[in-house]
Each structure stands twice: as C-alpha cells, then as structure tokens.
Structure 1
Amino acid sequence: MRSTDAPRTRRENKAWSARSIGSRWQHRFFYALIRFAGRRAAYVMVDFIALYYVLFRPSVRVRSLPYLSRRFPGRTALLRLWDGYRITVEIGRVLVDRAAMGILGPGQLTVRYGKREELLERVREGRGLILVTAHAGCWQFAMESLRLLDTPTSLLLHREDGDVDLHIFEHRGDEAAFRIIDPAGPFGGALEMLQVLKHGEVLCIMADRAMGGDRSTVVVEFLGGRVRVPVSPYQLASATGAPVVVIFPYKSGPGNYSLQVAKVLRVQGGLGRTPEAYRPYAEEFIRALEGFVEERPYQFFNFFDMWNLEPMR
C-alpha cells in the first residue's frame, strides 16, 4: 500500500511519549466504572469520550493523522474525522479490556493462542526466543498468554515517571507475567537482554519504534514513506543464534483477543554491529506489519509521526 497523501510539511520532531493522555482521576473513574458496572458500560463511556476528543481536542486527533493519512489516502475531511474516531474508540476499548482483566479477572476475556506448538519448538532449541511486535492490539494480552510457554519472559519497556495507566498485574496486585528491562538503563539494557537469551528464555521487543538515537536503526519504506526502525532484535539474534518470531496481538471480537504468529526470521550469525547488515530483517518485519494494518487498520496504535526522519534527540 502506497500513499502520497500524507502531510507534506515536515513537523517539528518532538520526543514521543508513552504516557497516557488521561489524568489520574479519569483513570480512577474508569476503573470504578468497570468494577461496579462492568466492561460494556465502560465501552459506552469510551464511545462518547472518543467523540469529544475527535471533535474538540485537535491535539489528540493530530496524533493519529500521520498514520491514518497514509493508510487511508485521499479521504474527505468527514471520513478523516471518522477514521480518527474509529481508532480512538479502538484504543479506548483495548484499555478498558486490559483494566477489566486485572480488576474483574481473566474470565471477562478470551485470549486465543495461535501456533503455540511452533513457539514451544523455538524455545526448545535452547538459544532463547526473540519475539518482535509493534504498538498494535494489546501487547499485554500477548504477554499474559506467554505464561503457557512456561518459560521466563522479559519485555523491553520504558515506563515514564508519572504514568498513571496501570498494567494488568498492578490491578490484580500480583506479580507480572514478565520481567521489565528498561531501555533507558545502562547500555540500553543490552547486557540484560543477552543474559535472557543466554539462559534460553523469551525476550519481547517492540520493533516499530526506536529509542536512544539513530545509531542502531535503519530506514525502510512503510506505507509509501520512509521510517526509521531499530535493528537491535536482529543484532541480538545474530550474536546469540536465537530465532526471531514476529507476533501481533489483536482484538478479534467482543471480549476476544488473538495472537498472530506472522513470521519466523533466522538471522545470519556474525553480522557485526553495522545496522545496514540487518536491513533485510527489518524490512521483513515491516512487510509483516503492513499486512497487519491492511487487515486491521484501526488497531495500529503508534501515535507518532514515524515518517518524520529528522535526527532523534
């Protein structure tokens, strides 16, 4: 899918933020609504709030515009508003589902686990397993479902100070299904990630957004424009021999989520540190992501102008 309809003026490249746009009291309101009225009542509230955001909060609407203008080129202004509303509703309902699983228990939702045996076979190889995914669907449901592998799992995740959006395990008050490795830590968490793979464990990395500068990224084409993506998952695979599996968790129906195993990558060993050596693997990931957004356009939640290639700060 290609597009030349995206905004042509280069925007100022501000650092992206993983922090929720909702305030603490708004989150607490939704958590209470879910607890006392249920998930469907929270859905109704999400629908109204999404409409308010799209109509009266341009700063929120603009966040999804770079992606939507490329995924749906040539849209009228009215259809563009509709696209913005749909994607806002989708992420709102995903966040409600995530909170409901923690507050009301796993019986509220069904997570379907596709190709479990294939993943188990990759784990049994004993070199660790690298799962690469994107800001699509609900990655937390994917992490919860990985309990079935009965193998310790780590996630490369940066959580900003002051973020009030609670994870599933924080609602439940128990231990997370995964260990968090912070890419803002020493050496970007590289030593910790190598240890995970050395012990034959599972490592999950978001591969559609880079942190920490341009030195470990390559530029590839996505939806008709050039984007910068990290190559660290493929560098780790080359150094350790771990297979790379591309997965996308997504909402497959009311109260249902599925885990799509999109592709298995075998990275050649000994490729070194030069990012360009890993371009073919980054491109395979992006092609798989294009296939995902072709089928589920309103479940890609990377609210950031990926196509603005000003150097990162």
Structure 2
Amino acid sequence: MTSLHWSRYREQGFSLGIRFLFWLHHRLGPIAFKAAVYPVAFSYYLKNRAGRLAIQEYLQLYTARYPDAGIQANWRTGFNVFLNFANSARDKLEAWFSGFPADRVNFPKRDFLHQVVAGGKGGVLIGSHLGNLEVCRALGSLTDVRVNVLVHTKHAKKFNRMMQRLNPKSQLCLIQVTEVTPTLAMKLSLAVERGELVVIVGDRTPVNSHGRTCTVDFLGRPANFPLGPYILAALLKCPVYTLFCLRSPTGYDIYMDKLCDQVEMKRGNREGHLYILAAEFARRLEHYCRLAPLQWYNFYPFWNQK
C-alpha cells in the first residue's frame, strides 16, 4: 500500500497550539505550561489520524527490531511521542528566539567543532526529526559559528509568521528552499568558504517529484531516504557530518560525527557514494533512535511514500 507524500499532509492545530503553549510558559510560568501541555497534546493526537498511524507503524517496527528495549507499541506510547513533541516546542522556540542556555547543552565534541571551523572552511551537517534539531542553533552561541538551516518553504512560512507575532525583532538563519538552485548553491558555497555550517535534514524525501532518493534499510524495512543532502555537499566540496540532538533529564545532548571528508561522484558510478552515505546515515539514525526511541517526531508515513 502506498501513502501520500509527507509534504501533502496538513499539520492540524500546529501553529495555534504551539503559540498557546509558548504564551503560557512565558507569561504564567512552567507550571501553567505543564498543566496545559497534556490536553493540547492529546487534542493534537486525536485530530491527527495520519500522525497516529505513522507513529504506530514506527513503534511496531521498533519493537519488532528491538524486543528487549522495553517499548510497547500501544496508544499510550504513541501519545507519549506526541507529548514529547509538544514539550520540545517550548525548547524549539527558546532556541530560535534567544538561544538555548549553554549550561543545559551537553556537547562533548565542542572542541572538535572549533577545530573544524579553525581550518578555515565550514561543512554540511545532516540532521533529522529525531530529538530537537532546532536546539542545535545553540551551536552558534556556543562556538561563534554561523549556522544556516535549510527548511521546507511551507513549514518555514508557518514558523516565521508565528515567530513574527511573538517576537518581531527575531532574526533567524533559516533559508527557505524546496530545491537546490544554482543561485542557492553559490550562496551556500560562499558561506562554507567563510567557515559557516549548513544544516539540512536527511530523513525527508524531496518535495519536488524530480528529487532523487534511494531505498535503504531502516528498522528492518526498506525506506526512501533523500540523496539531496549528499549532492549538495558534493557541490560545496566540503566535509559532511551527522548531527543529532536528544533531550535528556538535564537538557540536551548534541552528537556530531564526521560522515565523510568529501562526497565523491566518480564517472560511471556517480551515485555509488551517495547511496553508501544515505545507508550510513540511516544506520546512525537507527542507532540514536535506540538512545531516545520516543523522540522521533515523524508524523507522516515513512516507509510507504509515493
């Protein structure tokens, strides 16, 4: 059975619910937020049937793959994923507005990032919808490195409108894009040459039907992963890293690891290295899913996309 592409689903109640929770937290405090987050998350859980089914499929595959993990694929666990997502929205907005507090970010490889930037050239960081990638915007305040985040246009506009209402003075390093054009590639190339970082997610297939994907194993079943992040890195001729940011009891843990020094596209097998990198990214995504199984916020059909 096939399903609609993720970009064709509407995020019901998305903007209103998050704005309400954010207002409560900043005007009435964390106690009011905690009191409201349960009904808001449950309302979104009930309304978003596609999201419920997508999370249920993920949990079923996860429990089949790791039966000793202590995770049950039932509605309670599914609701906890929605609840975690609602809680992460507060941190998401704080990271965008004022930067996440440094004392709540555990980043063991901070010195490694300093070394990367000290080399005079930036790189491409491939993240995901596991955890809270937006908190990684704290990389800028933690290391004095400019971070450019590529986001899907439709959702970026929703976020931008919401943040403009809440904080008109907010300035974000968000680049709205549906495909990599020569103009965008040139802009990003200059940014990388200045030692800046480019962040793009590796678990969303292209909005453009002409975008390239490959099928690799993820949680024991073939799934489509985009090749765009690796094609972009090949154009920029820069190192590629994976980036995961997982919530912990004390804040967030940031994991940054090198994927390759440079993407190779050889004649006769131009996509061979791309497939290898996509498969390795899927393997790492699964690894970090094991560390935080209820933090993969993918509310769309993932294994059966058109």
Q: Same fold (TM over 0.5)?
A: yes
Question: Is residue 123 of structure 2 the alignment partner of residue 129 of structure 1?
Answer: yes
Q: CA RMSD in A?
A: 3.3
Tell me which amino acid in the other structure corresponds to 1:112. Answer: N
- The structure richer in helix per residue is 2
Contact persistence 1:147–1:177 (CA under 8 A):
no
Note if contact 1:39-1:97 (Cα within 8 Å) is conserved in structure 2: no
1:270 & 1:59 partners in 2: Cα distance? 37
8 Å CA contact 2:100, 2:135 repeated in 1: no
Q: Give the stretch that moved more between structures: 285-294 or 205-214.
A: 205-214
2:148 matched to which residue of 1? 154
Quickly say closer, same or farther: Cα 1:12–1:286, change in 2 above 3 A.
closer
* Aligned residue type for 2:284: A
Instruction: Give yes or no for contact 1:144–1:177 (8 Å, CA) kept in 2.
Output: no
Aligned length: 298
Aligned residues of 2:213 and 2:226 also touching (Cα < 8 A): yes
Give the whole-Å Cα distance in 1 for the aligned partners of 2:114 and 2:239: 12
Task: Report the equivalent of 1:3.
Answer: none
Give structure 1 stretches of 5+ with no counterpart: 1-9
Distance 2:99 2:210 in 1: 41
Match of 2:196 in 1: 201
Counterpart-to-counterpart distance in 1, 2:291 and 2:105? 19
194-203 or 164-173: which moved more?
Answer: 164-173
2:305 and 2:189 map into 1 onto residues whose CA distance is 29
Partner in structure 2 of residue 271 of structure 1? 266
**Alignment identity in percent?**
22
The match for 2:241 is: 245
Equivalent residue in structure 2 for 1:298, among 287, 294, 306: 294
Tell me how far apart the structure 2 counterparts of residues 280 and 257 of structure 1 sit (CA, whole Å).
29
Unaligned runs of 5+ in 2: none
When normalised by structure 1's length, the TM-score is 0.80
The aligned counterpart of 1:7 is none
Is 1:81 aligned to residue 72 of structure 2?
A: no
Report the equivalent of 1:261: 256
Give the distance between the partners of 1:250 and 1:185, measured in 2 at CA: 28
In 2, distance between residues paired with 1:63 and 1:186? 32
Amino acid at match of 1:21: Q
TM superposition score normalised by structure 2:
0.82
1:32 aligned to which of 14, 23, 26: 23
1:123 to 1:183, Cα distance in 2 relative to 1, 3 A: farther
